[in-house]
């Protein structure tokens, strides 16, 4: 039985039409989408907190969340902060942290997660509703003002390994989402639902079936358990009416013997028609992946000069160790280069396809490869600052010994076909790296003791915020990488920072395990 706790009536306007999401830069004090706006840039135009005063940041309030390991990216609209957790949602007064309402959905007793923890990365808002995804595979619409449940739509069957941990993406009239469960041999998809009724508008299968373009890249019936999960939020270009979404690994993860071929559209970026879900183009980063190098990243959209010509771009720092620049209208590969140590490819050809080094696939004996299965970077967000022209990414310098085993599909169970053995800890470290957005050339780096699990926020105050696995939340100079401030949260950080403003005051927020911290001057 679902239940709702309402402690205080919300005084928000409780209306977020699509034009407010489209024009997010007109409301820099709000954070109305997962990445603030549809571009995926995770950039705040606010300037009050800047390089001259960041050292003065203090905790203004903190909120204790019920679930550990929280990865939520909050939404802030008109003075109210909206949080989500695994099968829960909460509204807070963004000035004080006082709880306004809370909603929970019980998790079925037989639910099991395969290859991921109990987490949720954030809600979406559109109109007068907030949208939550649940571990037991429902999309739920709640009243933005009261938290009362409007409708709940079943997306798929959790007993087969499907689960929802993604922050939905709201576009005009629709709520988009992707599924977790690629480790369980699911068949992945990107879905769109009518925002008012919850009725499914379209579904794009990331693993094509017989008669669909791309099915020829799978041998036999391998497509039926092909993976291709879509568990990280996409981006949207309203002018092109295109949705951009990253696609995860094929299955089995480490044994590709029975799935000969490139295995489209796994480890790819797909551009979909926002109205119909029709595939406009795709780009595959890692054909026939055998290292669990998901391409489940937030695509970053921007316009920039490339070779003297203005281009509409989508850029991606990929889990496989390469940074890519693509034309977002056509999917044309423009440039790419490594941004971490990688030992599996000599480089990329003129189409962006990797030039593989022989004998780097997992074997029964084991083979050492960089990066490891959690990649050069993982799900957490990068950031792009149009002010500096730099792309900021939390990079992971870490390899592993990959090994292969036999794989047998059982519904709802792990379909790995192998795994990895870690290398000595002394060989691993991390960094925040600033890359030239059109070339991928590193401009500076801030080294970390261990590979990062936290995302990056850049601001017009020439700051970059991120967190460490040791619990430090910190601010860097966006132009130089110089450390300006840090705060020990007491727990490892595996979430994305945001910034918002209330009554002329700018704030920075980050989740660290069970605690959401809000900082200000």
Return all residues near 390 (Cβ < 8 A) that are at least 6 apart: 384, 434, 435, 436, 437, 443, 458, 478
Smallest CA-to-CA distance from 379 within 113, 120, 62 is with 120
Neighbours of 226 (CB within 10 A): 29
Q: Whose CA is closest to 510, among 481, 479, 488? A: 488
**CA–CA distance, 139 with 67 (Å, rounded to integer):** 20
Predicted local distance difference test score (pLDDT) of residue 272: 98
The position carrying tokens 């990688």 is: 342
Per the CATH hierarchy, to which homologous superfamily does domain 3-520 belong?
Quinoprotein alcohol dehydrogenase-like superfamily (2.140.10.10)
Alpha carbon distances (Å) from 126 to 64, 91, 93, 172, 281? 26, 15, 19, 8, 27
> Between β-strands 279-284 and 268-273, what pairing exists: parallel, antiparallel or unpaired?
antiparallel
Q: What is the mean pLDDT of residues 315-336?
A: 98
Catalytic residue among 156, 292, 462, 513: 292
- pLDDT at residue 2 tops 90: no
Read off the pLDDT band of 9 (50, 70, 90): very low
Q: Give the residue ranges of DSSP H helices in 206-263.
A: none
The phi-psi region of residue 374 (left if phi > 0; otherwise alpha if psi is between -120 and 50; otherwise beta) is alpha
Helices (H), 306-438: none
Tens-place pLDDT, residues 379-432: 999 999 999 999 999 999 999 999 999 999 999 999 999 999 999 888 899 999
Per the listing, tokens 């595979």 go with 137
pLDDT in tens, 15-54: 999 999 999 999 999 999 999 999 999 999 999 999 999 9
Q: Nearest CA to 281 among 242, 316, 323?
A: 242
- Predicted confidence band of residue 115 (pLDDT cuts 50, 70, 90): confident
* Cα-based distances in Å from 284 to 246, 288, 373, 435: 10, 10, 18, 22
Q: What is the mean pLDDT of the chain?
A: 96
Contact 205, 186 (CB under 8 A): no
pLDDT higher than 80, residue 475: yes
Arithmetic mean of pLDDT, 338-355: 98
Torsion, Cα of 449, 455, 459, 461 (10° steps)? -20
**Which pLDDT score, from 0 to 100, does residue 477 have?**
98
* pLDDT value at residue 13: 54
Among 128-132, 235-239, 410-414, whose mean pLDDT is lowest? 410-414
Q: What is the pLDDT of residues 294-325, one digit of tens each?
A: 999 999 999 999 999 999 999 999 999 999 99
CA distance 39 to 219: 36
Q: Cα(478)–Cα(186) distance, rounded to whole angstroms?
A: 41
Residue 251 CA, distance from chain mean position:
20
Q: In sequence order, what are the residues at sequence separation of 6 or more whose Cβ sits closer than 8 angstroms to the Cβ of residue 300?
A: 39, 40, 41, 235, 314, 315, 316, 382, 384, 391
Lowest mean pLDDT: which of 62-66, 198-202, 269-273, 482-486? 62-66
Whether the CB-CB separation of 399 and 368 falls below 8 Å is answered with yes
What is residue 185's predicted lDDT score, i.e. its pLDDT? 94
Verify whether residue 143 is a known catalytic residue.
Answer: no
Give the C-alpha separation, 98 to 22, whole Å.
29
The pLDDT of residue 67:
83
Instruction: Say if residues 151 and 198 touch (Cβ distance below 8 Å).
Output: yes
- Burial of 350 (C-beta count, 10 Å sphere; 0-12/13-18/19+): exposed
- How does pLDDT run across 64-95, given as a tens digit for each residue? 998 887 899 999 999 999 999 999 999 999 99
Domain borders along the chain are 3-520
- Cβ-Cβ contacts under 8 Å for 103 (sequence gap 6 or more): 2, 3, 4, 5, 88, 89, 90, 132, 142, 147, 148, 149
DSSP output for 161-186: T-B--PPPEEETTEEEEE-B-GGGT-
Report how far residue 28's alpha carbon sits from residue 30's, in angstroms, rounded to the nearest whole number: 5
| Element holding 221 (H helix, E strand) | none
Q: What is the β-pairing status of strands 189-194 and 174-178? A: antiparallel
pLDDT digits (tens, 9 = 90+) for 177-224: 999 999 999 999 999 999 999 999 999 999 999 999 999 999 999 999
pLDDT, tens only, 508-517: 999 999 999 9
């Amino acid at each position: 039985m679902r239940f709702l706790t309402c402690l205080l009536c919300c005084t928000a306007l409780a209306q977020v039409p699509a034009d407010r999401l489209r024009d997010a830069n007109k409301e820099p004090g709000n954070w109305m989408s997962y990445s603030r706006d549809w571009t995926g840039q995770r950039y705040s135009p606010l300037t009050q907190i800047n390089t001259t005063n960041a050292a003065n940041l203090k905790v203004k309030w903190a909120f204790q969340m019920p679930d550990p390991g929280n990865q939520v990216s909050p939404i802030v609209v008109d003075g109210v902060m909206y949080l989500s957790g695994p099968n829960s949602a909460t509204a807070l007064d963004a000035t004080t942290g006082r709880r306004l309402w809370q909603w929970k959905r019980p998790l079925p007793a037989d639910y099991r997660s395969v290859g991921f923890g109990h987490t949720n990365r954030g809600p979406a808002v559109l109109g007068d509703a907030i949208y939550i995804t649940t571990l037991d595979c429902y999309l739920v619409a709640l009243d933005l003002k009261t938290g009362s449940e409007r409708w709940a739509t079943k997306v798929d069957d959790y007993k087969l390994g499907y689960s929802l941990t993604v922050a939905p993406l709201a576009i005009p009239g629709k709520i988009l989402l992707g599924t977790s469960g690629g480790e369980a041999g699911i068949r992945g998809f990107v879905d769109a639902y009518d925002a008012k009724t919850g009725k499914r508008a379209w579904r794009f299968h990331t693993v094509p079936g017989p008669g669909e373009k791309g099915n020829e890249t799978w041998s036999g019936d391998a497509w039926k358990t092909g993976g291709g999960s879509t568990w990280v939020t996409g981006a949207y270009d309203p002018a092109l009416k295109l949705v951009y979404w990253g696609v995860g690994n094929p299955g089995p993860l480490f044994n590709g013997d029975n799935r000969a071929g490139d295995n489209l559209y796994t480890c790819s970026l797909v551009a979909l028609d926002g109205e119909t879900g029709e595939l406009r183009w795709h780009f595959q980063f890692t054909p026939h992946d055998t290292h669990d190098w998901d391409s489940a990243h937030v695509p970053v959209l921007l316009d920039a000069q490339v070779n003297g010509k203005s281009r509409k771009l989508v850029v991606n720092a990929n889990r496989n160790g390469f940074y890519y620049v693509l034309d977002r209208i056509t999917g044309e590969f423009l440039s790419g280069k490594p941004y971490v140590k990688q030992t599996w490819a000599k480089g990329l050809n003129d189409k962006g396809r990797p030039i593989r080094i022989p004998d780097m696939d997992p074997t029964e004996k084991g083979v050492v490869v960089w990066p490891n299965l959690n990649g050069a970077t993982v799900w957490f967000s990068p950031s792009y600052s149009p002010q500096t022209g730099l792309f900021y990414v939390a990079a992971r310098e870490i390899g592993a010994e990959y090994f292969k085993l036999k794989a047998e599909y059982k519904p709802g169970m792990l379909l790995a076909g192998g795994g990895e053995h870690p290398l000595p800890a002394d060989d691993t470290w991390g960094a925040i790296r600033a890359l030239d957005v059109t070339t991928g050339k590193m401009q500076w780096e801030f080294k970390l003791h261990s590979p990062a699990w936290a995302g990056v926020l850049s601001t017009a105050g020439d700051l970059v915020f991120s967190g460490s696995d040791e619990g430090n939340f910190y601010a860097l100079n966006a132009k130089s990488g110089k450390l300006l401030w840090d705060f020990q949260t007491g727990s490892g950080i595996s979430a994305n920072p945001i910034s918002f403003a209330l009554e002329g005051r700018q704030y920075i927020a980050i989740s660290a395990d069970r605690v959401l911290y809000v900082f200000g001057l």
